[in-house]
Each structure stands twice: as structure tokens, then as C-alpha cells.
A = this chain, B = another copy of it.
């Protein structure tokens, strides 16, 4: 397990990279580092509940849409099926989810939250909101709106590029 002090050290390491070592490094890399810093901050807050960041990503999906197959869960989480499989097994042991077939369809196993898994939403979502709130400190509403717009355009650009196909891009 990673101790809180290691985590702290790492976010400061990230910061040092941008302040001192490579201040003009690629923006794509900066986005990734923000995501990592947020992940660490959330990880620290989830740990007392025995929930890993991996479990959190699956729970977050199930709170919105319960009863997914493991394949659907993998696609939505953006991970490989074996990763989902082992997380689902662990969360089942923890009593957060259960796997069962739907009536009339014996082909797929579906993942359902238990009452305990569902109840965690009220406890854990505020932790993510706290991390979000902390990271946005000092940013005006206008700056936050601009940031949101720029980030969204990045996803749009990457989605458009994928549709257009790799290879001859015509640029």
C-alpha cells in the first residue's frame, strides 16, 4: 500500500516538474498530471473506507446504471475485462456488489449493487466533490467556465480525429 506521505511527496514531485524541470512540457502531459494529482487526493480520502481508486471508478458507474454486464462495465470504465473481473470479485467479497443472471437470460452475468454498495454513494461522492472543490480554489467562475470549454474542445478534437481515421489525415 502507498502511504499518505508517499502520495504527498508525489504530488510535490509533479509540481516540481512543472515549476522547475520542464515548465514548457506538453499540455497533454499537464492534463495527465492534474488527473494524477486528483486521483491521489481522492485515493487518500477513499482509503479509510477500504475502497481503492479502481473500485471507486466501478462504483461510480454502477451508482448511475446498476445491473451492467462485466463487458459493459469494462467499456464504460475504459479498462480491460480481466481488470474488471478482479475488481468485481474483490467488491463482491467486500459485500458491495453481487453478480447474478437476469431472469430469462442465462447468458450473461450482471453486476448489481448491494444495499451496502449503494449506501456508499452518499459517503464517497462528497469526497470527490471535496477534491474537486480544493483543486478549483482561486479559479474564478469565468476561469472555470473557460477551462471547461477548452477541455471539452480537446475531447472533441480527439473524437473527431478518431472518426476521421488515422493514417492520411490530410494535413
Contact = CB atoms under 8 A, between A and B. Distances in A.
Contact of A78 (B8, B10, B29): B10
A147 B144 CA distance: 10
Interface of A: prevailing SS: helix
Contact of A14 (B131, B138, B155, B163): B155
Number of copies: 2
A18 B150 CA distance: 13
A15 interface: yes
Interface string A12-51: 1111001000000011111111111111110011000000
Contacts of A8: 159, 162-163, 169
A76 B13 contact: yes
Contacts of A41: 158, 161-162
Nearest to A22: B64
Given A11-B162, A13-B76, A161-B134, A155 B6 contact: no
Given A12-B162, A144-B150, 6 more contacts: A31-B35, A34-B155, A35-B35, A36-B78, A44-B162, A138-B153
